[in-house]
Structure 1
Amino acid sequence: MARLKRQICRVVLDYFDKTYTNELGDQWQMVREVLTTPGLWQYAVLLNNFQRTSETKKHLLMNGYHQLTHQTFPKTLTCYINRNPGKFPSERHQTGKIKGYYILNASSLLPVLALDVKHGETVLDMCAAPGGKSVALLQCASPGHLHCNEPDIHRSRWLKETLESFVPSTHINNITTSELDGRLIGKLHAKSYDKVLVDAPCSNDRNWLFSSDALQAAELISQRKIFPAIQTELLRSAIRALRPGGSVVYSTCTLSEAENSAVVSNILNSCRDVISVDLSDMGNTLSHEFTFAAHVTHGLLVLPDKGKAWGPMFVSKLIKL
């Protein structure tokens, strides 16, 4: 309930009104209403295959949840969503105890689905904290090795706690964690991975709307200009870290065109060894559960909508030739 008491920052909202009216047109008013009304927000429940979850499934179904499905979903990826707003109660972290489920924004699964990890592959989650996408990757397949990187020390601790909460000791040996600057990984681990996920640091629209004060908001808006350069460097590093034939998925949780399509366009214009993958089929088959922006270049953009209050989430996929 604390989330409902937070105050909207007028400075950020005015900035979003100006920016996103220009970028999203009429769709911005729909998105604006959901983003500014936490009471409309929805949360998904990702079940953990490393734990018995039959009782959790029964409880979810009794509470109006249904399974999120897609023709390309691995059978092992089991996620439940509810049309109604609200949050299923989280499980507390207890040392040595494996949790049965993870609460997340359902759109967070789209980058994982787009990456399409197969058994035995070597995978890098470049900006992994808090760990939800790493957990989802492990539900999809059994990587030969999963490298979870998070440069921020505090967020890295959060990541390690998440992994400890969801992965049994019998499987933890296939996972390594690090606190490297993602922009350096391409040089340090060149051509080392089959798949790379870059869930890049971005101007998180949901959080920014509830910044604590106008001065902090003005500083955040000013800092927003530097994100595209950092994101481009991270994506370029990811491509260097890929083996030929490997693929990278780039994602953010912002609506910003400068941080989304423009970053991917910059990479495609400067890197001759990568091509963009068309994700429209995934968007079409998931349109009953997610609302997507129209005419997005090089990817999909999930827009928060009533009854589909997921996102923002931008997803783009590139293959290294």
Structure 2
Amino acid sequence: MNNDSLGRASTAACQLRKTYSSVTEQLETKSESKLQKQICQVVLDHFEKQYSKELGEAWDSSQYFILRQVLSTPLCWQYAVLLNKFNFSSEVENDLHLKGYHLLFPETSSCYQQSFKCYISSTPGRFPAQKHRAGKLKEYYLLNAASVLAVLALEVKSGEKVLDMCAAPGGKLIATLQYARPGLLHANEYDSLRSHWLKQTLESFIPEPLMSLVTLSQLDGRQIGNLQPEGFDKVLVDAPCSNDRLFCSDIQPATLRLAQRKVLSAIQIQVLRSAIKPLRPGGSLVYSTCTLSKAENSDVITYIRNSYNNVLPVDMSALASSTSQEFTLASGVQQHELLVLPERGKAWGPMYIYKFKKV
């Protein structure tokens, strides 16, 4: 993809992005029963056409057949419960145990960290959500467990400066603060509705004294790289993407969703190019999406690797090995990337993760 093509695609993408963001928020707040009735056949047909072309024989395998069933059946979806260490409730933890939940990373796991308690269940369903109440911290956050892998891949250490470039709705940001205590965590979200959502999330999970560690901005991710050149130890790019899990739901015309899908890779490339600038030499950058799309995943990475000689891929095989029991990982991917595939009983993902190191 040359610069002219990027520019044209970017113009179209800018016109679609706000609609896409607000629609995504609406989708995420709908109940599973309503979603179940709104699966769009036109979109499912597009899935078949695109992914059978991209994945070849693998798309016809039993693993991907199950994946298609899970993606098109919201009643099969599962949600992890990330406990808030800043307002820990033993009652909530006991209730999780009674309902059959268990720790995502038990004490025997190499990923175990005492302050990081994320509970999962092998059965579908959602633990009751807690509403936002001004001045009162929530006790837990509901999320797709695969999101946690991007935080683990980033390997934030206490005192480091971290930039979350596309931070809303805030799940990975909250998980980062549960995992470590950075010296600075800068959260950016361009879309105004999602930015408001992000602020509410922070108010619900972070005590006032710790808010001094967090700064917020509402800048275009394609320009934020100039904010503080080489000023961050870690950068997370949880890029705007097709979001296969929500993409099937028919809350807007299928033609609009398919048009959005075509231009997202241009945004992703530009945001990722911007993300390299604020990363200090020796620092790490994690790129993640929640789609299977090769155009939005490995093709974006290939473009960056061919365009920059100051970022190198980081081997993530150790993380893959230590998490393979709870997550179904796609085979045939490089050692520098992870692709989580949802299946029944492990309906996490899809989630694509790639890690760079700046030299």
TM-score past 0.5 threshold: yes
Matched, 1:14 2:45: yes
What's the TM-score, normalizing by structure 1?
0.97
State the alpha-carbon separation in 2 of the partners of residues 272 and 290 from structure 1: 32
1:75 to partner: Cα distance: 2.5
Q: Which of 34, 47, 55 is the aligned partner of 1:5?
A: 34
- Listed as ranges, the matches of 1:230-309 within 5 Å are 230-297=267-334, 298-309=336-347
Deviations 1:13-35 (A, max 9, x none): 00001122331421321110001
Instruction: Quickly say closer, same or farther: Cα 1:74–1:238, change in 2 above 3 A.
Output: farther
Counting matched residue pairs gives: 319
Q: Which amino acid in the other structure matches residue 231 of structure 1?
A: Q
Q: Which of 53, 61, 66 is the aligned partner of 2:102?
A: 66
State the alpha-carbon separation in 2 of the partners of residues 252 and 211 from structure 1: 21
Matched, 1:127 2:143: no
- Listed as ranges, the matches of 1:1-321 within 5 Å are 2-6=31-35, 7-22=38-53, 23=55, 24-25=58-59, 26=61, 27-69=63-105, 70-212=109-251, 216-297=253-334, 298-321=336-359
Q: Which amino acid in the other structure matches residue 228 of structure 1?
A: S
Task: Identify the range of structure 1 (68-77 vs 243-252) with the bigger mean alpha-carbon deviation.
Answer: 68-77
Task: Identify the range of structure 1 (128-137 vs 292-301) with the bigger mean alpha-carbon deviation.
Answer: 292-301
Give the SS at the match of 1:264: helix
Deviations 1:110-162 (A, max 9, x none): 10000010000000000000011110000011110000000000100000000
1:54 to partner: Cα distance: 1.3
Aligned 8 A contact 1:261 1:296 in 2: no
State the alpha-carbon separation in 2 of the partners of residues 292 and 266 from structure 1: 24
Q: Give the fraction of aligned pairs with identical amino acids, expressed as a percent.
A: 54
CA RMSD of aligned residues (A): 1.2
Give the SS at the match of 1:316: strand
Structure holding more helix per residue: 2
Q: Which amino acid in the other structure matches residue 221 of structure 1?
A: L
Aligned 8 A contact 1:128 1:150 in 2: yes
Aligned 8 A contact 1:187 1:241 in 2: yes
Q: Which amino acid in the other structure matches residue 15 of structure 1?
A: H
State the alpha-carbon separation in 2 of the partners of residues 302 and 294 from structure 1: 10
Aligned 8 A contact 1:151 1:181 in 2: yes
1:184 to partner: Cα distance: 0.8
Q: Which amino acid in the other structure matches residue 278 of structure 2?
A: A
State the alpha-carbon separation in 1 of the partners of residues 345 and 199 from structure 2: 33
State the alpha-carbon separation in 2 of the partners of residues 147 and 44 from structure 1: 25
Instruction: Give unmatched runs, 5+ long, in structure 1.
Output: none
Deviations 1:188-224 (A, max 9, x none): 22101000000000011111101235xx211221221
State the alpha-carbon separation in 2 of the partners of residues 107 and 147 from structure 1: 22
Deviations 1:44-74 (A, max 9, x none): 0001110122111111001100001141343
Aligned 8 A contact 1:190 1:241 in 2: yes
Aligned 8 A contact 2:185 2:213 in 1: yes
What's the TM-score, normalizing by structure 2?
0.87
Instruction: Give unmatched runs, 5+ long, in structure 2.
Output: 1-29
